[in-house]
Amino acid sequence: MARWSRFAPDADRRLVKGLHDGDDDVLATLYDVYAERLYDYCMALLDDTRVAADVVHDTFIDAARRAPRMRDRARLRPWLYSAARRRCMQRKLQLEPAEGDPLGSLDLLQRETLFLAVRHDLTGEDLATTVGVSLRRSEARLKRAQDQVPEAKEFLDAAPAPVLPAALRHRVQHTGTDPELAGYRAEIAARGGALTPEGMPRQPDAPSHLARRWAFTSAGLLTALATAVVALMLMDPNLPVPDIQWPGGKPHITKTPTHHPRRPGADGGSGGGDGQRPTTGPQSIGTITPSSSTPPAPPPPGRHNGVLVVSPTSIRYRGHATVAAIMLSAKGGPVHWIASASTPQVTLARAGGTIGDHGGVSVEVTLNRGLITLPGTALITVSGGTGQVVPVSVAWDTSVL
C-alpha cells in the first residue's frame, strides 16, 4: 500500500490560498499531494479506471474554482474527498465486493466508512463531512463495521494502491489553466452540485440540515393547523375549511363549486326547464406548469442519426435519498434527445439537448420528498431524435423527515 504523507492543515491552507489567488502552479502541487489518494478512493467505489480518472480530473478542476469558498481553509482534505464522493455517487457504484474480500459482509456505506477511516485516516468531523452524515452517525457506522470485521485494518493496509494514469496530471493541468477552456471549467464546477453553508460539497444521498430543520418546523405547524381546524369544526361544522398552501409549495388553484338561484326562463326556457343546471359534483383542479419544463424543439430531420444509450434504466431511492443521475451517450452520430417524467414528484435537471458523436451528458434526477413520503413509482421517458424511446423506471421507499 502507498504510504502517503501525513495530513498537514497549514499546507492545506497555503494550497487553498494559492487557488484563491489564481496561482497556476498550485494546481500541479495539489495534484501531486492528493491525486493518488483520491484515485484510490474512487477506484474502491467504482472499480473502473477510466471513470475513476474522470472523477479525479473533475474534482481538481472543481476545487480550483470552489474550494476557496470554505469557511475553514484547513479542511481542504475532506472537501476533496466529499467532491469526489458526490461525483462517484452519481455514477454506477461497485455494489458487489470482490471475491475473498473480508469486507463483503458489510453494506456499501459501511465498507466505504471503514475504507476511509482505516486506509485514508479520515476520522471525526472529516469523515462525517465526507460521507454527509452527522458525527454521531458516522462514528456509530464505523464502530459497527470495525466490530463486524476486526481484520479489516490488516487487509486494507496490505492492498496495493492503483497506479494513476500517466496522462492524468497533464490533463488536469491543461484543463485548469488553458484560457480557452474557461467555459468547460465552469460546466465541471456546476456538475459538482450545491455547497453547504460551510462551503463543503453536499452529498446526494444525505438530507441537508436545513431539510431536517424544516421537517421539525413543519411538524409543529401541521399540529397547530390540525388543532385549529378541529376547533373550528366543533364550533360550527358548516364553516368552510380554507385551502392551506405550504411556503415554497407549488401554486394550487381549486375551482369551488357555487350554486346560483335561477330565475324562471333565464335561459329562454320556462322555470326549471331545459336550461343548464348548476354543477354540484367534483370540480377540476388547475395547475400552473413552469415554462422551464418545456423541452427544446426537435432539430431538423436527417442531421441527428446516432443511437442513444441510456444508463441505468432503473433508479431506486432508498432511505432519505433524493438525488440520482442517468447517463446519456451517443454512438454512431450525434443525437438530439428529449426527456420527461410521468409525475411532478420526479424532476429532471435537463429536459433535452444534443449530444455529439461518442459524447455524453449526465442528467440529475431529483425525487421531491415531503414530510412523509409513501412508496411509489414513476417513469422517465427519454426519446432520441430518430424515434428511439428508452424508458427509465423510478421507485422510492417510505421516508419520514
d(CA 218, CA 200): 26
Confidence of residue 215 (pLDDT cuts 50, 70, 90): very low
Per residue in 268-285, pLDDT tens?
443 444 334 333 333 332
Compute φ and ψ for 123, nearest 5 degrees: -135, 175
pLDDT the model gives residue 227: 67
Confidence of residue 37 (pLDDT cuts 50, 70, 90): very high
Q: Is 270 helix (H, G, I), strand (E, B) or coil?
A: coil
Region 279-299: mean pLDDT is 39
pLDDT the model gives residue 162: 92
**Extended beta strands in 179-267, E state:** 252-254
Q: Is 83 helix (H, G, I), strand (E, B) or coil?
A: helix
% of the chain surpassing 90 pLDDT: 45
pLDDT over 70 at 301, yes or no: no
pLDDT the model gives residue 286: 31
Q: In Å, what is the CA distance from 352 to each residue of 81, 142, 207, 336, 367? A: 31, 41, 28, 8, 19
Q: Is 348 helix (H, G, I), strand (E, B) or coil?
A: strand
**CA nearest 288: which of 262, 264, 253?**
253
| Structural domains in the chain plus CATH codes | 9-206 (no CATH), 291-400 (2.60.40.10)
pLDDT the model gives residue 271: 41
Burial bucket for residue 362 (CB in 10 Å: 0-12, 13-18, 19+): middle
Per residue in 250-268, pLDDT tens?
444 434 444 444 444 444 4
Cell reading at 285: 383542479
Whose grid coordinates read 418546523?
217
d(CA 267, CA 273): 9
Cell reading at 261: 338561484
Q: What does the DSSP 8-state code read for residue 366?
A: E
pTM of the predicted protein model: 0.56
d(CA 75, CA 23): 19
Confidence of residue 248 (pLDDT cuts 50, 70, 90): very low
Cell reading at 45: 467505489
